[in-house]
Amino acid sequence: MAILKKYGVIGLAIAVIIGGSAGKACEFIGSGILMPNITFFLPGGAWRKAVRVLSLIQLGVGSSLAAIIDFLIIGLIIFVIMKQLEKTSLT
């Protein structure tokens, strides 16, 4: 038990769990809030399933765009949280 406290393993485990939950929340923000508003301007509305065909290659443009949007949302949230933690640091 002393090893767990010394190396902060419990804090790391909690961070991984919270990170997974934050990832799901950010995915919802992207797919449930932002993209329905953007889909209004896109024809067809199935932007996550959009595929671009180049001769024999099929590129999943929609899924790539969705992953990039999810990444940007997660990055923005982590940036804001880290800025707040820097302001409230006790050191």
Predicted TM-score (pTM) of this structure = 0.53
User: Could you tell me the CATH number of the domain that includes residue 41?
Assistant: 1.10.1200
Q: Residue 50's pLDDT is what?
A: 73
What range defines the domain where residue 44 resides? 2-87
Q: How many domains does the chain have?
A: 1
Query: Higher confidence at residue 75 or residue 5?
Result: 75
Distance CA 70, CA 25 (A): 10
For 15-65, write each residue's pLDDT tens digit.
888 888 877 877 777 777 777 776 666 666 666 677 788 888 877 777 777
User: In Å, what is the CA distance from 90 to each residue of 6, 17, 80, 85, 86?
Assistant: 21, 25, 18, 10, 9
Q: What pLDDT, on a 0 to 100 scale, did the predictor assign at position 70? A: 76
Give the pLDDT score at 41.
66
